[in-house]
């Protein structure tokens, strides 16, 4: 056990390692994300309460069967985006989408993955572009991942595939633009590390939008950023929840379950 590592952390880390070994032995692909990927790119190391692996949805069932055979408890916690594997010491989030149903795991996550060591094992880590994409939509009262994005850009601006990153956001480009504007505010001396064509392209889009008529109908896209804070908009004020459109892969049942989890979280 490394000096200073508590027995509880050592047991959790051993569990994470066994999860990785089980999947590697079975030849099932996965990516390490969360704090471990962030640490790989930024060298910011922090203790995490869980361990995140990212998988394609079509391989999720096979992955959970392998983990169940290895003796771990498994469940499909939220059918639209993640399941969990657990033991008495810790749990692993097995993620194939995002809570808002937008940031799905596909082949490009694996095609552009980074290579690193995790608990002494060779592993693939979520690409920096997809890490930014997934974190950009997390704006809850209790969790806001903008600082992680700022540190990722600060550490990796010259290595980011900006064309691919912009494409990932697609119609949600304003979300990425908001983070890039914040980057220039937080790091004034570093703002030129974001390519000129990225910022000018976004500002051109913004100018076109300002000159055009807004969309018909009252829609709230805030539910893509926070599952809780924009509920008054859709429950009381009559705005359409964008998660009920093709902007998200969530079904109406997914939205109900994901919303109910807020109440369950507050009770715990």
Parent domain of 16: 1-126
Q: What is the arithmetic mean of pLDDT over 38-47? A: 91
Predicted confidence band of residue 267 (pLDDT cuts 50, 70, 90): low
Q: What percent of the chain has pLDDT over 70?
A: 96
Span 198-220, pLDDT tens digits: 999 999 999 999 999 988 889 99
Q: What angle (nearest 5°) sits at the alpha carbon of residue 94, between those of residues 169 and 98?
A: 25
pTM of the model: 0.94
Assigned domain for 187 exists: no
Q: Is residue 84 part of a domain?
A: yes
Instruction: Note whether 242 and 248 are within 8 A (CB).
Output: yes
**Does residue 17 lie in a domain region?**
yes
Residue range 79-124, pLDDT digits in tens = 999 999 999 879 999 999 999 999 999 999 999 999 999 999 999 9
> Is the Cβ–Cβ distance between 137 and 127 less than 8 Å?
no
Residue 174 located in a structural domain:
no
**Is there a domain that residue 52 lies in?**
yes
CATH number at residue 83: 3.30.460.40
Domain assignment present for residue 227? The answer is: yes
Distance CA 45, CA 128 (A): 16
pLDDT at 268 over 80: no
Residue 66 lies in a domain: yes
The answer to whether residue 4 scores a pLDDT higher than 70 is no
Q: Give me 172's structure tokens.
A: 């949600």
User: What does DSSP assign to residue 244?
Assistant: G
Helix axes 196-211, 162-169, angle to 10 degrees: 30
């Amino acid at each position: 056990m490394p000096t200073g590592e508590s027995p509880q952390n050592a047991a959790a880390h051993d569990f994470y390692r066994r999860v990785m070994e089980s999947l590697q032995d079975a030849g099932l692909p996965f990516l390490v994300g969360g704090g471990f990927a962030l640490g790989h790119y930024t060298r910011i190391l922090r203790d995490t309460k869980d361990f995140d692996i990212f998988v394609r949805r079509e391989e999720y069932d096979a992955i959970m069967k392998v983990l169940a055979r290895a003796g771990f408890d498994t469940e499909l916690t939220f059918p639209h985006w993640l399941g969990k594997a657990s033991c008495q010491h810790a749990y692993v989030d097995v993620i194939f989408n995002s809570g808002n149903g937008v940031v799905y795991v596909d082949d490009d996550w694996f095609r552009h993955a980074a290579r690193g060591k995790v608990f002494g094992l060779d592993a693939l880590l979520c690409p920096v572009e997809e890490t930014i994409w997934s974190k950009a939509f997390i704006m809850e009262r209790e969790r806001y991942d903008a600082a992680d994005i700022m540190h990722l850009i600060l550490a990796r601006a010259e290595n980011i595939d900006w064309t691919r990153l912009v494409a990932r956001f697609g119609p949600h480009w304003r979300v990425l633009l908001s983070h890039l504007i914040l980057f220039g505010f937080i790091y004034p001396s570093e703002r030129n590390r974001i390519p000129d064509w990225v910022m000018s392209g976004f500002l051109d889009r913004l100018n076109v939008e300002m000159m055009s008529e807004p969309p018909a109908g009252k829609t709230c896209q805030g539910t893509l950023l926070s599952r809780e804070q924009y509920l008054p908009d859709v429950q009381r004020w009559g705005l359409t929840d964008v998660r009920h459109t093709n902007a998200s892969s969530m079904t109406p049942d997914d939205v109900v379950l994901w919303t109910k989890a807020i109440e369950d979280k507050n009770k715990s």
